[in-house]
């Protein structure tokens, strides 16, 4: 299994409940593909540099997970089908990026306390 990171931009007209449902759906897709969710972060409503689907803002969500390379294509197909997802980007993390993400999560946990 490889480490991956996915950033989603969700439609800004969604309610908080619908954003949570979208996040839960993504987690369900990863776990149903025998993957492991490492972390998920809701960055909130952010302004974009350019409009997507005539919208200038979107809810940004970051997921870090482990998944087999065969399952990534089916995961991305499901993301393309979801109307709530305006854009997404999935990146395979190498050992340096994995270490960086781990350090970033630790700093955020210390900052939250």
Q: What is the pLDDT of residue 104?
A: 84
So what's the architecture of 2-112 in CATH? 2-Layer Sandwich (3.30)
pLDDT tens for the 113 residues of the chain, in order: 899 999 999 999 999 999 999 999 999 999 999 999 999 999 999 999 999 999 999 999 999 999 998 889 999 999 999 999 999 999 999 988 888 888 888 877 777 66
Say what the pLDDT of residue 11 is: 93
Contact of 14 with 82, CB cutoff 8 Å:
no
Q: Judge residue 110's burial from the number of C-beta atoms within 10 Å of its C-beta, 0-12 exposed, 13-18 middle, 19 or more buried.
A: exposed
What is the value of pTM for the model shown? 0.87
Question: For the chain, which residues make up each domain, given as ranges?
Answer: 2-112
Q: Quick one: pLDDT at residue 12?
A: 94
Cα–chain-centroid distance for residue 105? 15
């Amino acid at each position: 299994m490889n480490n991956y990171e996915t950033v989603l931009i969700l439609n800004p007209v969604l309610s908080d409940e619908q954003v949570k449902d979208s996040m839960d759906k993504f987690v369900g897709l990863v776990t149903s593909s025998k993957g492991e969710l490492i972390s998920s972060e809701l960055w909130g409503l952010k302004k974009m540099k350019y409009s997507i689907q005539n919208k200038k803002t979107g809810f940004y969500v970051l997921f870090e997970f482990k998944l087999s390379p065969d399952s990534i294509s089916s995961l991305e197909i499901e993301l393309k089908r979801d109307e709530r997802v305006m854009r997404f980007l999935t990146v395979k993390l190498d050992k340096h990026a994995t270490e960086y993400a781990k350090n970033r999560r630790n700093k955020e946990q210390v900052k939250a306390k």
